């Protein structure tokens, strides 16, 4: 059983089902307009870069959950995996850049040379990140894979009828 207390959850809609997998559409919530960090947020920039309002993912069909097209489900990603991925993505290139800049300072290189070495360090950090993300430790690990936690209960909406008198 999964520890659902430490999961980051997202609502998804069942788009299609085949023999072994279910295709889910996740909806990107447009909360950027109400967020106080809108001027410096990377997620906002990513959403602006793509016109895609939905992301489609394929997951194995859960055994204990009968699903049909149109159902809403709750997806979960372990919070610690999300934090680890965020730290790797942002910290690894910056740490290598700073390491290269410190090494250039230790070698007493000129300031322009230190800047160039730091930029090479940033590129090296990005290459390390790409290599790690394509390694067997990441591609064969299920820690990054979202899971279907439960079906979303459909809320019944009461229809109100108005009469014009």
Could you tell me how far CA 124 lies from the centroid of its own chain? 23
Q: Which residues pair with 23 in a beta bridge?
A: 16, 58
- Segments making up each domain of the chain, as ranges: 4-151
Q: d(Cα 110, Cα 122) in Å, to the nearest integer?
A: 18
pLDDT bin (cut points 50, 70, 90) of residue 37 is low
Per-residue model confidence (pLDDT) at position 158: 56
Per-residue model confidence (pLDDT) at position 114: 97
Per-residue model confidence (pLDDT) at position 51: 53
Average pLDDT over residues 54-73: 85
């Amino acid at each position: 059983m999964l520890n659902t207390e430490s999961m980051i959850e997202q609502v998804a809609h069942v788009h299609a089902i085949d023999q072994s997998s279910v295709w889910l559409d996740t909806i990107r919530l447009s909360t950027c307009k109400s967020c106080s960090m809108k001027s410096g947020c990377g997620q906002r920039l990513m959403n602006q870069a793509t016109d895609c309002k939905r992301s489609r993912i394929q997951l194995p069909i859960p055994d204990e959950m009968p699903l049909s097209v149109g159902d809403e489900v709750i997806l979960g990603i372990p919070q610690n995996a999300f934090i680890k991925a965020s730290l790797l993505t942002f910290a690894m290139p910056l740490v290598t850049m700073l390491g290269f800049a410190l090494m250039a300072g230790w070698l007493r290189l000129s300031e322009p040379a230190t800047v160039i070495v730091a930029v090479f360090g940033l590129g090296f950090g990005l290459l390390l990140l790409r290599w790690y993300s394509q390694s067997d430790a990441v591609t064969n690990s299920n820690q990054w894979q979202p899971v279907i936690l439960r079906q979303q209960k459909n809320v019944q909406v009461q229809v109100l009828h108005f009469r014009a008198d």
